[in-house]
Structure 1
Amino acid sequence: MAAELDPAVLAGDRALLERSSTADRVADILRARIAEGFLSPGTKLSEDAIGTALGVSRNTLREAFRLLTHEKLLVHELNRGVFVRVLTVQDVVDIYRVRRLVECSVVRHLGAPPYDLANAEAAVEEGERTAGDGDWRGLGTADIHFHHAVVDLAHSRRLTELMTGVLAELRLAFHAMDNPREFHEPYLGRNRELLTVLRAADLVKAELLLTSYLDDAERQLVRRYSETIALT
C-alpha cells in the first residue's frame, strides 16, 4: 500500500503562497513536487494534511486536485479519495511521442547561434553534483530540468507550459525503474554530450543525439512497464 504524502515535504512551500493564493498556485506546487519525485504513483493525497501544510481551504485544494486530474497527474477514485496516477505502457509511449515532436523540433529550429545554454549547463552541473552525492532521485530531477531548459530555448510560453505537465508525468514513469542509478546515470553523460553539440551549433547532430536518447529511454521504460504488467 502506497504511503500518504508526508506534510513535512510541503512545509517550506507555504511561504510561496501569497494571501491571494489560488488553486493554480497550489497546483503549481504539487506539480513541482511530482516532477521532483516526492510523490510516487499510487500515493493518496490527504486533503487535511496538505491543506494544513499549505494553509489553504478545502475548496481551493479540491480545485487544484481537479486541475491536476485534468493534466493526468492525479486520479479521483469514488469513495476512496485522490491518488497520484499510475501510468500505463500506452501513457509512456504517448509521452515519448510528444517529447519527440516538441524537443526535437525545438532543436531543429533553433536558428543561428549563439544560444542561451546557461540553464542547460546548470542542469548538467546539478546532475553531476547529485550523482557525486549518490542522490539518484536528485539526478532524475536534474534530468527533468535539463529537458525543460532545452524546450525553453524556443522562447515559447505555450511550449514551456505544455512540457511542464508532460515532464511531470514522465517523472511518474521513472518510479517504475528498480535501479534509478542504473537508469539515470548513463543519460547524464548524454546530456553533457548534447550540451556540447548545441554549444557548437551542430543542430543536425544534436537532433540525432536527442532522437537516439529518447528512443533508448522509451525502450527501457516500456520494457520495465511490460515486465511489471506480466508479473501482476
Structure 2
Amino acid sequence: MATTDSGLGGLAEDRALLGRTSTAERVADILRSRIAEGFFPPGERLAEDAIGKALGVSRNTLREAFRLLTHERLLVHELNRGVFVRVLAVEDVADIYRTRRLVECAVVQGLGEPPYRLEGLDAAVSGGERAAEQGDWQGVSTANIHFHRALVGLAGSARTDELMRGVLAELRLAFHVVDDPRRLHQPYLVRNREILEALRAGERTRAMWLLAGYLDDSRAQLVEAYGKLVADALA
C-alpha cells in the first residue's frame, strides 16, 4: 500500500512548522502525529521521496526521523521493501495496556493533596462529549487520548509524558484498524467524566480504582475486537 495523497497533503501543510531549524526530531514529531491521527494507517508504506519533498527536508533527515519512529515501534523497516507503518500483534495491544495501567494508576495514586490542575482533563472530556454529539467517533478517540495524556501530565514529569506519548501513539495503531469506533469509544465517555469528577472532589484513591477498572475493561474489549480482525485476516 503506497503513501496516500491525503497524508502528503497534510504534510505539505505541516511544512511551515519546521521553520529554519528543521531537525529529524521535529520531522518525527510531525509524522508521529500524522500516524496517530490515521493519515498513514497501519501497513502503509511511507514513500521517502514524496514525504521528503512535501516537508522540504533532506533524505538523511527523513531517514533519521524514520529511525526514531522505528525505535518507538511506530514504523518497521523491511529489507528491500522500505519503511511501513507498523501493524500491531494482539500481544502488543495487551502489553500496551499493561504499561498504561502501571503508569497511569501510579500517577493518580501518587498525586499530592487537592485541588489538582484539571483544565486539560476538563477540556478533553468536554471535547469528547461534543464529538460524540456530532457522531465524530474518531474525534472521540482523539479526545480520549488527550484525556489520558492530560492525566499523566498531572505528575509534572517530562519523562513520563514522553513515555506515554509513545505508548498512546502506538495504541492508536490498533484503534485505526477496528471497524466500529463508536462501540469501542462510546462507553468510556461517561467513565472519563467519572474519573474527572472524582479528582475534582479530591477523591484520589477512588479515581485510581475507576481508572484501573476502565483500563482493564478497555483492554479486554480491544484485545477481543482486534484479535477477531487478525484472525479474519489470516483466515
* TM-score normalised to structure 1 length: 0.96
Shift of the alpha carbon at 1:214?
0.4
Q: How does 1:65-144 map to 2 (within 5 A)?
A: 65-144=66-145
Matched with 1:218 is 219
Partner in structure 2 of residue 4 of structure 1: 3
Whole-angstrom CA distance in 2 between matches of 1:3 and 1:224:
26
User: 2:20: which partner in 1?
Assistant: 19
Distance in 2 (CA, whole Å) between partners of 1:129 and 1:36 is 18
SS at match of 1:45: coil
* 8 A contact 2:178–2:229 mirrored in 1: no
Q: Flag as ranges the 4+ runs of structure 1 deviating above 4 A.
A: none
Q: What is the rounded CA distance, in whole Å, between the counterparts of 2:2 and 2:77 in structure 1?
A: 17
Quote how far apart the aligned CAs of 1:226 are: 2.1
Separation (CA, whole Å) in 1 of partners of 2:12 and 2:135: 25
- The residue that corresponds to 2:207 in the other structure is 206
Q: State the AA in 2 paired with 1:203.
A: R
Extract unaligned runs of 5+ from structure 1: none
Task: Tell me the amino acid that sits aligned with residue 97 of structure 2.
Answer: Y
Contact 1:27/1:67, CA 8 A, preserved across alignment = yes
Q: Aligned partners of 1:156 and 1:89: how far apart in 2?
A: 30
Q: What percent identity do the matched residue pairs reach?
A: 66
Of residues 219-228 and 73-82 in structure 1, the stretch that sits farther from structure 2 once superposed is 219-228
Q: Which whole-Å CA distance do the structure 1 matches of 2:143 and 2:200 have between them?
A: 19
CA distance in 1, matches of 2:76, 2:159: 24
Shift of 1:3: 5.0
Task: Kindly indicate whether the alpha-carbon contact (under 8 Å) linking 1:35 and 1:144 is maintained by their aligned counterparts in 2.
Answer: no
1:83 CA drift (Å): 0.6
Q: How many residues align?
A: 231
**1:176 offset after TM fit, Å?**
2.8
- Which residue of structure 1 aligns with residue 165 of structure 2? 164
- Structure 1, residues 176-209: CA drift from partner, whole Å, max 9, x if none? 3211011111111111111111111111111111
SS in 2 for 1:44: coil
Distance 1:28 1:49 in 2: 18
Name the aligned partner's letter for residue 25 of structure 2: D
